[in-house]
Structure 1
Amino acid sequence: MLVLIILLPLFGFFFGIAFGRYNGKGTCFITSLTVFSSFFISFYFFIKLLFSGTFYKVTLFPWIFSDFLTINWNFYFDSLTLGMLIVITFISTLVHIYSIEYMKEDPHLNRFMSYLSLFTFFMLVLVTSNNFLQLFVGWEGVGLSSYLLINFWFTRIQANKSSIKAMVLNRIGDFFFLIAIFSLYLITNSLDFDVIFSLVTLIKEYYIQIGIAKFCVLDLICLCLFLGATGKSAQLGLHSWLPDAMEGPTPVSALIHAATMVTAGVFLIIRCSFLFEYSPLILNLIIIIGSITALFAATTGLLQNDIKRVIAYSTCSQLGYMFFACGLSSYDVGFFHLYNHAFFKALLFLGAGSVIHALANEQDMRKMGGLRIILPFSYSIMLIGSLSLIGFPFLSGFYSKDVILEIAYAKYNTFGHFAYYLGVLAAFCTAFYSTRVLILVFLINTNGFRTNILNAHEGSYFFVLPLFFLTILSIISGYLSKDLFIGFGTDFWSNVIFILPYNYSLSDIEFLNLFNKILPLLVVLIGIFSAIFLYFFTLPSYFNYKQTKWFKYVYIFLNRKWFFDKFIVELIGINVLTLSYLYNYKDIDRGVLENFGPFGIINNVNNTIKKVKKIQTGYIYHYMFYIFIAILILFIFSLINFNYILILFLFVMYLLF
């Protein structure tokens, strides 16, 4: 029965691809039913885990069998896996149902639903893997599925560019991930998690020397794992594909940002906690990159005008929180935030899709406004989703994000305080841009086109039902699951997550001073009121301030996304393209290799044939002359060597007879 959790979405994919054109809307029903069935089975075993603490390991069949490596198709169902299964299958089920209405006018609806099921299948393979190679299959499958879904409207140039960008940037991370996998195999002769994690104390004794520098192999492996996770979870440096992924249909954005692709990197770090705990250098690096990513994405989201792009940058920012939580060795808290984030982020994207659908696919917030009366349900769910994202008290985001910041300060070291203050600044920006979205879309006077406003309406129950469930969970999920995931004395994680005793700091947050505990809440309130003040009241002093040179520099810096895109394109992209085309392609591939390889051989053979053809003149006396020369040469050789007399005799006989 456990295997059905994984295989049912695959069946839905094959059914949609094979029979989609024959059964009309039947593909929508089958794919939604298969994913819902996966969720139902996952929920059953999750409840069973809570009461019995039972883990499961299912072996299907041998995959690779040799003298040096044995790998089976194993599926491992522990607390981390079952927690991820609940999130993935539940969000995927709601996205499938939502897509029936959202994509109903698209002629390729069956293909779209099939791709959603394929995406879900590969993510399930990833989180249930028992070894690194099987995890890598799911890892690459998720990347492939994201390419297919982002580029679903393949006639759009921007969708083509975005999908290729996502694929290329993820390949960079995958390269380092493969290096980590190969290194682990060379040291342990195994790719199974259980074997590798049990040998971690042996791995940390290996060192590699390059010149006078000496490096710990475990640090290098953890660095490669982190870089692989960075590509998948869009951390600073490999982040630019995530905001561009919104070029796909809105349900795709909800699935990618909430439950599947971007959570894969966080899952990898949590799963490999046994390795990272013995690499404090890389843990500190994760804290730095995660906290800077949280601030970078939050500040960049301040000036975005596309409603989906704002939410996309909020995803990047929240992933930064999850990463530096893992860097603080609070893997359980990182997962807790991942769990809560899935619900309110899916709610925000699907709520934004409801608004976009009502306004004839308009995504620019400057062309909206006044929708609170026209779309009251959409306004309600966007309000709840935004407040949960902000971390407003007693909503789901509050219970996880504030704990992350408190743990960061409770570390009482430079890296912890660095993450704390950057996280607080990111919380201010998050509150500001979330309130800005609500004001521009729902509260101010309308700026939209008259026809769009007059025709705007709420969606059918295919819209309402998923949004209703996500709204409820965005309110209560944090409160209900806090004690389960991060409560004192909880045995939910058992031996799935490993934390060294001196790295455990969850209990230290009880001794924080009151100011550091309430500071995130204070900056959130300041961010909310700042957005209300600036966008509801037009003040001459604010207008004059916007005209100052200092403000223009800040605006340009944030609007250009900290110049990361410019840096990547001009400093890296153009130089790599130049190197690849002018040198590798023209000089080496089309030059040296072609001339000394197949192209050179063909040219030499053709030139030789052309020279030989000149001998074929068609005149008999020329041929008689050639025969005479041949006989003369053979005669000379026969004088030197007796064996050539026989050859000369046979040649003359051939000419005579």
Structure 2
Amino acid sequence: MNYTAIILIPLIPLAVFLVLGLFNRKIGPGVSGLVGVGGMLVSTLLSFYTAFEYFMVLGKVSGAYPTLVESTVWMNFTETLRIDMGVLIDPISVMMLIVVSTISLMVHIYSRGYMKGDEGYTKFFSFLSLFTFSMYGLVLATNLFQIYIFWELVGVSSYLLIGYYYTKESAVAAAKKAFIVTRFADLGFLIGILLIGYYTGTYDFETLNNPEGATLTHWAPASFMGLSVLTWGLILIFIGGAGKSAMFPLHIWLPDAMEGPTPVSALIHAATMVVAGVFLVARLFPMYFFVEEGFALQIVAFVGAFSALFAAVIALTQTDIKRVLAYSTMSQLGYMMLALGVSGYEGSQGLGYMSSMFHLFTHAMFKALLFLCAGSVIHAVHSNYLKDMGQLRKYMPITHLSFLVAALAIAGIPPFAGFWSKDEILVAVYQQNTFLYVVGIFVAGLTALYIFRIYFGIFWGKDNTYEHRPAESPASMTVPLIVLAVLSATVGFIPFSEFISPDRAGFDAHIDIPMAITAVAVALIGIGIAWMLYKKESGLATRLTDRLGVLYTWAHRKFYMDEVYLFVTKNILFKGIAAGAAWADRKIVDGTMNLIGNSTVLFSKKIKGMQSGRVQDYAMAFVSGTVILALLFIYLWTS
């Protein structure tokens, strides 16, 4: 492997970030856009070269896909416990290089048109490059602490991009919300890292993931509340992943994050950052599977299934098209977690793991396409809301066809990409848990319904009287749409199981015809319902929502999760815990310090007369002291 090329992949966007960030007032918008796109293009080419070399050359020579590590010691604690910095190359890290590179390049190209005329144009491209560098570092990390460092850099990047419109109050609030919620989750991640490092003696992924190594079979038998410490560590690490991947109940930041520019939504909240949690569980999958018979993995499965269903129901009721897509992302990430949670390890038993990574790959293409199409629509009508849209297919044919391809892909209609990966997920779940399969197939129907609800609402529906006639977006925006549409229609044909599996040996996967027919039939029912309710303007949808009454209201209000968090924050954290802590800080900590200070001042007032500056006073003190010492000496001598 060419490690120089691999190391250059993250270093190029880092260099672009530094150049554009340091000289953003001196570099014009035209140049900064070209620098950003040019740097991303080089990293993308190097990523594809790395993938070709690893899968097509190295894999054929070795007969299996090895784990390659090139690292150097950064911090040394003991003979075994140390933190390295380097790159880890294996099937899922190479796959993620392709995902991050492809989506980031398309977003960079798209942003040249979407952000044209923006005052912070150069700054925006520097932030994009910082985010891309952080994601590259995350997927190439060799150990838990290295991934944690880049995990937090991703958080910083998302904070900067979500709050990019810093003069807009809602954008600032959304950035803070995303940062704070994910910090709580990342505290769990950090504690989990420390637990695993302490009890296994290593942070190294290659050692931790060796199912036959001493790490998993001879670790200290410590336990807490009936579970081993390693299981608790894995659960805590999953909490960090759940925060980043917006799993229930740590999902509340994701819809608000749509306040950032739409290219940001496509890059961070659809294709790369939010899948970091899924990638984290996949990176540690052998540990999740082998430690205590996969107890932590069962938690992953049920949290993923509930999140998928919960988000899909909410998506049906939202009127902001970007928020619909945000909840859609949460639902699809739930699918990925569910698939990981039911997966085995060896050979075809690893179908769940493979299908999760496959869906991560295909989802990146069609979800980025959905967001960029949404940005194209918003760019044309200057609104995020369905009520301000309708019949746009007449004015925006490229955007319309691209959105339709993405909608068919996410709905799981063959031969589009989402069909292949979602079918494999449903087969894997069916083999392990019938109840979770029923949840998964129901969510598939809801997915088709909510995505075609907004498709018909945007491009069909009512014929709005637009203040300004909508027009198709410029080529800088439509070319990425076309590229992603082609990918969304074709990447499902990749024989993914030959490249990605838990044991890295690969296996043959085949379409389960009865399962596929069932899933497609459910999706077509969802599309049919959307056709009847939303293709033409009618009162049918309104009458249906009125009949649902409180159920619709609860879903529309996102089941009041924001209100629950506000209540807990204000009444328990602020008025309870924080108020008590503030009293203790004010009365005890500050009071003790004030007492020491005041006592010192009072004591100094009492004794300051001893330094009056008068010679006779000093002479009197000297003589008196001498007499007292003399008398004391005589007394001690005579006694």
Do residues 10 (structure 1) and 14 (structure 2) align? yes
Residue in 2 that maps onto 1:320: 334
Please state whether the residue corresponding to 1:277 is helix, strand or coil. helix
Residue in 2 that maps onto 1:64: 75
1:245: how far off?
0.9
Do residues 258 (structure 1) and 270 (structure 2) align? yes
Instruction: Tell me, in whole angstroms, the C-alpha distance in 2 between the residues paired with 1:86 and 1:221.
Output: 30
1:638: how far off?
3.6
1:476: how far off?
0.7
- From 105, 128, 138, the counterpart of 2:140: 128
Counterparts of residues 69-108 of structure 1 (less than 5 Å): 69-108=81-120
1:538: how far off?
7.0
- From 550, 557, 561, the counterpart of 2:558: 561
Please state whether the residue corresponding to 1:451 is helix, strand or coil. coil
Residue in 2 that maps onto 1:608: 603
Assess if the C-alpha contact under 8 Å between 2:192 and 2:236 holds in 1: yes
Please state whether the residue corresponding to 2:319 is helix, strand or coil. coil
1:34: how far off?
1.1
Counterparts of residues 298-377 of structure 1 (less than 5 Å): 298-329=312-343, 330-360=352-382, 362-377=383-398
Residue in 1 that maps onto 2:62: none
Assess if the C-alpha contact under 8 Å between 2:462 and 2:537 holds in 1: no
- From 31, 38, 42, the counterpart of 2:43: 38
Assess if the C-alpha contact under 8 Å between 2:270 and 2:367 holds in 1: yes
* Shift in alpha-carbon separation, 1:494–1:555, aligned structure 2, 3 A: closer
Residue in 1 that maps onto 2:401: 380
- Match for 2:446: what amino acid? C
1:398: how far off?
0.7
1:463: how far off?
0.5
Instruction: Tell me, in whole angstroms, the C-alpha distance in 1 between the residues paired with 2:100 and 2:611.
Output: 76
Counterparts of residues 180-199 of structure 1 (less than 5 Å): 180-198=192-210
Residue in 2 that maps onto 1:639: 631
Moved more, 422-431 or 602-611: 602-611
Task: String of CA shifts for 1:264-310, please: whole Å, max 9, x gaps.
Answer: 11111111111011142222211111011000000001111111111
* Shift in alpha-carbon separation, 1:134–1:22, aligned structure 2, 3 A: same
* Shift in alpha-carbon separation, 1:176–1:535, aligned structure 2, 3 A: same
1:197: how far off?
2.1
Please state whether the residue corresponding to 1:524 is helix, strand or coil. helix
Q: Which consecutive unaligned segments of at least 5 residues does structure 1 have?
A: 499-503, 645-657
Counterparts of residues 106-505 of structure 1 (less than 5 Å): 106-198=118-210, 202-203=215-216, 206-210=220-224, 213-278=225-290, 279-329=293-343, 330-360=352-382, 362-411=383-432, 416-447=433-464, 450-452=466-468, 454=469, 456-479=470-493, 481=494, 483=495, 485-486=496-497, 490=498, 493=501, 495-496=503-504
Assess if the C-alpha contact under 8 Å between 2:207 and 2:215 holds in 1: no
- Match for 2:194: what amino acid? F
* Shift in alpha-carbon separation, 1:424–1:67, aligned structure 2, 3 A: closer
- Match for 2:48: what amino acid? F
Residue in 2 that maps onto 1:594: 590
Please state whether the residue corresponding to 2:70 is helix, strand or coil. strand
1:385: how far off?
1.1
Task: String of CA shifts for 1:447-504, please: whole Å, max 9, x gaps.
Answer: 46x323x2x211211101111100100111112x1x2x12xxx255484489xxxxx9
Instruction: Tell me, in whole angstroms, the C-alpha distance in 2 between the residues paired with 1:179 and 1:84.
Output: 26
Please state whether the residue corresponding to 2:83 is helix, strand or coil. strand
Instruction: Tell me, in whole angstroms, the C-alpha distance in 1 between the residues paired with 2:311 and 2:541.
Output: 25
- Match for 2:449: what amino acid? F
Moved more, 54-63 or 83-92: 54-63
Instruction: Tell me, in whole angstroms, the C-alpha distance in 1 between the residues paired with 2:254 and 2:180.
Output: 12
- Match for 1:160: what amino acid? V
Residue in 2 that maps onto 1:534: 533
Assess if the C-alpha contact under 8 Å between 1:258 and 1:343 holds in 2: no
Residue in 2 that maps onto 1:50: 55
Residue in 2 that maps onto 1:648: none
Assess if the C-alpha contact under 8 Å between 1:407 and 1:509 holds in 2: no
Residue in 1 that maps onto 2:349: none
Task: String of CA shifts for 1:346-368, please: whole Å, max 9, x gaps.
Answer: 100000000111113x1111111
Aligned length: 613
1:391: how far off?
1.0
- Match for 1:71: what amino acid? I
Residue in 1 that maps onto 2:518: 519
* Shift in alpha-carbon separation, 1:408–1:364, aligned structure 2, 3 A: same
Moved more, 558-567 or 118-127: 558-567
Do residues 583 (structure 1) and 580 (structure 2) align? yes
Assess if the C-alpha contact under 8 Å between 1:245 and 1:253 holds in 2: yes
Instruction: Tell me, in whole angstroms, the C-alpha distance in 1 between the residues paired with 2:341 and 2:612.
Output: 83
Assess if the C-alpha contact under 8 Å between 2:285 and 2:502 holds in 1: no
Task: String of CA shifts for 1:411-439, please: whole Å, max 9, x gaps.
Answer: 2xxxx222211112212221111111112
* Shift in alpha-carbon separation, 1:142–1:538, aligned structure 2, 3 A: closer
- Match for 2:358: what amino acid? F
Instruction: Tell me, in whole angstroms, the C-alpha distance in 1 between the residues paired with 2:113 and 2:499.
Output: 42
Please state whether the residue corresponding to 1:73 is helix, strand or coil. strand
1:175: how far off?
1.4
Please state whether the residue corresponding to 2:36 is helix, strand or coil. helix
* Shift in alpha-carbon separation, 1:281–1:12, aligned structure 2, 3 A: same
- Match for 1:534: what amino acid? L
Instruction: Tell me, in whole angstroms, the C-alpha distance in 1 between the residues paired with 2:543 and 2:115.
Output: 46
Please state whether the residue corresponding to 1:207 is helix, strand or coil. coil
Residue in 2 that maps onto 1:655: none
* Shift in alpha-carbon separation, 1:189–1:280, aligned structure 2, 3 A: closer
- From 571, 575, 594, the counterpart of 1:574: 571
1:373: how far off?
0.6
Residue in 2 that maps onto 1:27: 32
1:562: how far off?
2.1
- Match for 1:381: what amino acid? S
- Match for 1:30: what amino acid? V
Task: String of CA shifts for 1:537-589, please: whole Å, max 9, x gaps.
Answer: 677787665444xx21101221121232222221355311223431112x222
The normalised TM-score by structure 1 is 0.87
* Shift in alpha-carbon separation, 1:154–1:496, aligned structure 2, 3 A: farther
Please state whether the residue corresponding to 1:237 is helix, strand or coil. coil
1:518: how far off?
2.6
Assess if the C-alpha contact under 8 Å between 1:429 and 1:527 holds in 2: yes
Paired-residue identity, %: 35
Instruction: Tell me, in whole angstroms, the C-alpha distance in 2 between the residues paired with 1:297 and 1:34.
Output: 36
Assess if the C-alpha contact under 8 Å between 1:234 and 1:262 holds in 2: yes
Task: String of CA shifts for 1:135-174, please: whole Å, max 9, x gaps.
Answer: 1111111111111111111111111111111111111221
Instruction: Tell me, in whole angstroms, the C-alpha distance in 1 between the residues paired with 2:25 and 2:538.
Output: 59
Please state whether the residue corresponding to 1:355 is helix, strand or coil. helix
Instruction: Tell me, in whole angstroms, the C-alpha distance in 2 between the residues paired with 1:538 and 1:5.
Output: 50
Task: String of CA shifts for 1:42-86, please: whole Å, max 9, x gaps.
Answer: 111212223223557463643123544333322122221111101
- Match for 2:285: what amino acid? S
